[in-house]
Amino acid sequence: MKFKRQSNQEDSINLTPLIDVVFLLLIFFMVSTTFTKETHLKVDLPEAVGEPGVKQAEPLEILIDAQGNYSVNAKALVNNQGKTLKAALLKIAEGNLDRPLMITADAKTPHQSVITAMDAAGQAGFVHLSMTTRKPSDEP
């Protein structure tokens, strides 16, 4: 009987495709990490420092308390709905939509209440809208 001799060569794995895949993954993660950092925004809100504006016509004033209750020119409204606020603004303005409108809100007023007041004023047609602020205190 004649047997075939086995070769003494070592079997080896070709690592080139594996290295290519590792480099592609490395490049992918480097690029995606860069995009993630660019999407974060840092917001630094400004403080209101300045001189008061020149007085014009008698302004309308929307006052919003800490619970989100509205009053227009010191007259309380029956509810906190935007349509009630809009109706009150139109009634008090008597068609003069060029009058300045000031929104004064408590520091603890819910954000939605302020947005509702701004929306009602915009829907009513007021274009001169301002927010009242106070000077920041020097104490930390």
Is residue 137 over pLDDT 90?
no
Structure tokens at 136: 């920041």
**Whether the predicted pLDDT of 20 surpasses 60:** yes
Q: Which of 89, 68, 91 is nearest to 80 (CA)?
A: 68
Is the entire prediction scored with pTM above 0.75? no
pLDDT at 9: 72
What pLDDT does residue 38 have?
47
Q: Please state at what angle helix 82-93 crosses helix 111-124, rounded to 10 degrees.
A: 50
pLDDT band at residue 138 using 50, 70 and 90 as cut-offs = low
pLDDT tens, position by position, 39-97 = 444 545 456 667 766 666 678 888 888 888 888 888 888 888 889 989 988 898 888 88
Contact (Cβ atoms closer than 8 angstroms) between residue 64 and residue 93:
no
| Topology given in CATH for the domain delimited by 60-131 | Nucleotidyltransferase; domain 5 (3.30.420)
- Position 26 scores a pLDDT of 93
